[in-house]
């Protein structure tokens, strides 16, 4: 039977405890399993067999792996057949990044267009198991879109807290359409996060941010599915965007469990990439590499985090201790990339016919930087995780291609980004001749 375990003081709780952090020391919680009971060969054959089964819980790219998920009765499971996200070869992106080969696992191809669905199916299922009727989250947009959809499927009420004027319109439109109560906070994501955590402790609202360990259980199957798609062969490295640091923590937990179960014989190295204006983990990582007293290091929040990649505009990431654990266990890396680097990388991913939202493009921008610095070998077998769909934030894309992407910095100065890979559109009179000329026909 799985249980909850504090990552700091190791206190254990049953999975039916309605807690988000350790009651004894406030540390983050893991869902843990009796790993010695599992046999790698057995897990792989069960999971491979299920791919051919028509049952929804076998077809879900999360619940297919249910031996290593919190127990839930089949009738309790709320699934939208999430997952099954392909790994795509991306030759133009590989060339841009300086790698011989690069593949993207595109989690934007999920029911609500982001990786959050993988965690929301387990999060909402746990909410149902605990008898919750109203669920809540703070969000830069994708968590709220996903939670709103899954709550609607489960017949629950969703309450979402979003930072004022800072979420991409595609995401807001989803939360509204799926019927969530949307509360815009006069503050940033970190303010919203702090408030909703307080509210969840003092009210019947069930918290579905990634501090909730049941969310991360679903997201760890990104690692499982990735390995299954590759015939259970581990890549050298997995590159992930870092915001609140739930996803990078979840993916590294997934790899570690399959290593412990004997499915893989090495843990892929993790690379977490952050935007330069919202890079508290990167700053901590630099200190970690220079310090002799690494156990004493704490993440210093960034009060006025900024990036146009609004999904990862986060200054006080909740799951940083778990992300650090994953980095240490995998001999990983952290990199930080500029707004210009993100914008250009996003345009290149588009040219591979895949596209993504800005936060996902930090992966390619980071790879380019790490290869140039000699920290990633061009021959490495690298999988980068695209976290959100291109259509989540069309304003950003259109502004880039029309040469008007920019922002106002802390000093009130307008910073205009260059559109180095712009695909600008042309305007022509409604005449045959003009069209022939415009297309050089
Ligand atoms: N990419 C996208 C598209 C995201 O929406 C997020 C986070 C991340 C990357 C970062 O993942 O937080 O697990 O490190 N979005 C959250 C939200 C914060 O509210 O939708 P993380």
Q: For the segment 124-182, what is each residue's pLDDT rounded down to a tens digit?
A: 999 999 999 999 999 999 999 999 999 999 999 999 999 988 899 999 999 999 999 99
- The number of angstroms, rounded, from the C-alpha of 109 to the middle of its chain's C-alpha atoms is 13
Q: Within a domain: residue 420?
A: no
Each residue's pLDDT tens digit, 94-121: 999 999 999 999 999 999 999 999 999 9
On whether the CB atoms of residues 360 and 108 are closer than 8 A, the answer is: yes
Give the pTM. 0.97
Domain of 334, CATH number, reads 3.40.50.1100
> 250 C-alpha vs ligand 1 centroid, how far in Å?
12
- β-strands 382-386, 103-106: how paired? parallel
> 140 C-alpha vs ligand 1 centroid, how far in Å?
7
Mean pLDDT (whole number) for 361-389: 98
State how far the Cα of 81 lies from the Cα of 254, in Å rounded to an integer: 19
On whether the CB atoms of residues 274 and 362 are closer than 8 A, the answer is: yes
pLDDT at 401 exceeding the cut of 80? yes
Ligand 1 atom nearest residue 240's Cα: 9
Q: Within a domain: residue 363?
A: yes
Task: Return the pLDDT at 295.
Answer: 76
The answer to whether the CB of 170 is under 6 A from ligand 1 is no
Task: Return the pLDDT at 56.
Answer: 96
- Boundaries of domain holding 407: 87-112+215-414
On whether the CB atoms of residues 152 and 218 are closer than 8 A, the answer is: no
Task: Return the pLDDT at 277.
Answer: 97
pLDDT at 294 exceeding the cut of 90? no
Each residue's pLDDT tens digit, 226-268: 999 999 999 999 999 999 999 999 999 999 999 999 999 999 9
Q: Within a domain: residue 165?
A: no
Q: Within a domain: residue 303?
A: yes
Q: How many angstroms separate the Cα of 406 from the Cα of each of 279, 342, 362, 397, 401?
A: 19, 12, 17, 12, 12
Q: Within a domain: residue 136?
A: no
The answer to whether the CB of 358 is under 6 A from ligand 1 is no
Q: Within a domain: residue 374?
A: yes
* Tokens (6 digits) for 67: 């031996």
Q: Within a domain: residue 61?
A: no
pLDDT at 14 exceeding the cut of 90? yes
Domains identified in the chain, total number: 1
Q: Within a domain: residue 31?
A: no
Dihedral Cα 365, 367, 371, 377, nearest 10 deg: -170
Which residue(s) pair with 336 in the sheet? 274
The answer to whether the CB of 142 is under 6 A from ligand 1 is yes
Task: Return the pLDDT at 293.
Answer: 74
């Amino acid at each position: 039977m799985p249980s909850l375990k504090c990552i700091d003081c190791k206190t254990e709780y049953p999975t039916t405890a309605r807690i988000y952090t350790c009651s004894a020391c406030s540390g983050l919680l893991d869902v843990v399993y009796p790993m010695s009971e599992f046999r790698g060969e057995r897990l792989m054959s069960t999971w491979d067999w299920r791919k051919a089964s028509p049952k929804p819980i076998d077809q879900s790219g999360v619940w297919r792996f249910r031996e290593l998920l919190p127990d839930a009765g089949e009738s309790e499971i709320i699934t939208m057949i999430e997952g099954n996200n392909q790994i795509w070869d991306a030759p133009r992106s590989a060339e841009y990044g300086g790698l011989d080969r690069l593949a993207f696992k595109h989690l934007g191809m999920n029911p609500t267009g982001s990786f959050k669905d993988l965690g929301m199916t387990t999060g909402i299922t746990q909410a149902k198991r605990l008898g919750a009727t109203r669920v809540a989250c703070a969000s830069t947009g994708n968590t709220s879109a996903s939670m709103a959809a899954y709550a609607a499927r489960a017949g629950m009420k969703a309450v979402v807290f979003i930072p004022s004027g800072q979420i991409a319109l595609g995401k807001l439109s989803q939360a509204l359409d799926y019927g969530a109560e949307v509360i815009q906070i006069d503050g940033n994501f970190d303010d919203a996060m702090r408030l909703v955590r307080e509210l969840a402790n003092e009210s019947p609202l069930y918290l579905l941010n990634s501090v909730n360990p049941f969310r991360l259980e679903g997201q760890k199957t990104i690692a499982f599915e990735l390995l299954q798609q590759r015939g259970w062969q581990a890549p050298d490295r997995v590159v992930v965007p870092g915001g609140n640091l739930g996803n990078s923590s979840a993916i590294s937990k997934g790899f570690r469990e399959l290593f412990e179960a004997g499915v893989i014989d090495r843990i892929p190295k993790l690379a977490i990439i952050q935007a330069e204006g919202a890079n508290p983990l990167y700053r901590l990582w630099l200190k970690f590499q220079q310090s002799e007293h690494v156990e004493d290091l704490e993440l210093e929040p960034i009060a006025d985090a900024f990036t146009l990649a609004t999904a990862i505009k986060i200054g006080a990431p909740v799951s940083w201790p778990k992300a650090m654990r994953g980095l240490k266990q995998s001999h990983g890396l952290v990199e930080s990339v500029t707004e210009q680097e993100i914008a250009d990388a996003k345009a290149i991913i588009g040219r591979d016919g895949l596209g993504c939202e800005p936060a996902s493009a930090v992966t390619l921008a980071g790879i380019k930087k790490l290869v140039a610095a000699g920290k990633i070998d061009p021959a490495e077998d690298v999988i980068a995780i695209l976290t959100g769909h291109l259509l989540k934030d069309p304003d950003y894309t259109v502004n880039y291609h029309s040469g008007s992407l920019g922002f106002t910095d802390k000093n009130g100065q307008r910073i205009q980004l260059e559109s180095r890979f712009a695909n600008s559109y042309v305007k022509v009179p409604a005449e045959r001749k003009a069209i022939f000329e415009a297309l050089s026909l």
